[in-house]
A = this chain, B = another copy of it.
Amino acid sequence: MNRGLLIVLSGPSGVGKGTILGELMKKEELNLVTSVSMTTREMRPGEQEGVNYYYVTKEEFMRAVENGEMLEHAEFVGNYYGTPLKEVERIRSMGKNCVLEIETQGCRQVQQKVPDVLSIFIIPPSMEELERRIRGRKTEPEEVIQERLAKAAQEMEMVSQYKYAVCNDDIQLAADIIAVIIQRYEQRINEGK
């Protein structure tokens, strides 16, 4: 059995990473398993420990970082989010492809630790469309929206650090193309063994 890939799906806030990941998860041939992240943010109604996140205090989170137990971590709008290494190892050693949906700052850390990570950046159809989507959520105060917009512009500059970038002007097309990228990359990695 081949060890599974580590796949990072990233891109600016609001670009539709979650929707595309949902489409990818439907494709059984991709053999994807998402890693459950650790967070210091509060549990929201309907969420479950170990399903949506592992919920920890800031102290517990920092201890895990100091002990080298995190593959990557990032602060976002006052809360910490991170990927436990153990979780990723567990998935990959079962021969499953472990997929992370993470922020661009987290991706950089993963690339340093796992050079053969398959990193994919989702490009918005345009910056205007991205602003429309971020505003369309309507669940957040204006200052958080402004912070997200500024961060999105910064994040767009990170795209050249990724192996692949795919425009999300059509969710189905984007998901189909990412699926092919995963399959070809997997084939290439396994041939090289």
Contact = CB atoms under 8 A, between A and B. Distances in A.
Interface of A: 121, 123, 156-157, 159-160, 162-167, 169-170, 173, 176-177, 180-181, 184-185, 188
3 A-B pairs with the lowest CB-CB distances in the bound complex, closest first: A165-B165, A163-B167, A156-B160
Contacts of A173: 184-185, 188
A22 B139 CA distance: 50
Given A123-B163, A163-B169, A173-B188, 15 more contacts: A121-B165, A123-B162, A156-B160, A159-B159, A159-B165, A160-B165, A162-B167, A164-B164, A164-B166, A173-B184, A173-B185, A177-B180, A177-B181, A180-B180, A180-B184
Contacts of A121: 165
B163 A160 contact: no
22 contacts: A123-B162, A156-B160, A157-B157, A157-B160, A159-B159, A159-B165, A160-B165, A162-B165, A163-B167, A163-B169, A164-B164, A164-B165, A164-B166, A164-B177, A170-B188, A173-B184, A173-B188, A176-B184, A177-B180, A177-B181, A177-B184, A180-B180
A167 B164 contact: yes
A13 to B, nearest CB: 15
A16 to B, nearest CB: 15
A3 B163 CA distance: 31
Contacts of A167: 162-164
A123 B188 CA distance: 18
A173 B183 CA distance: 11
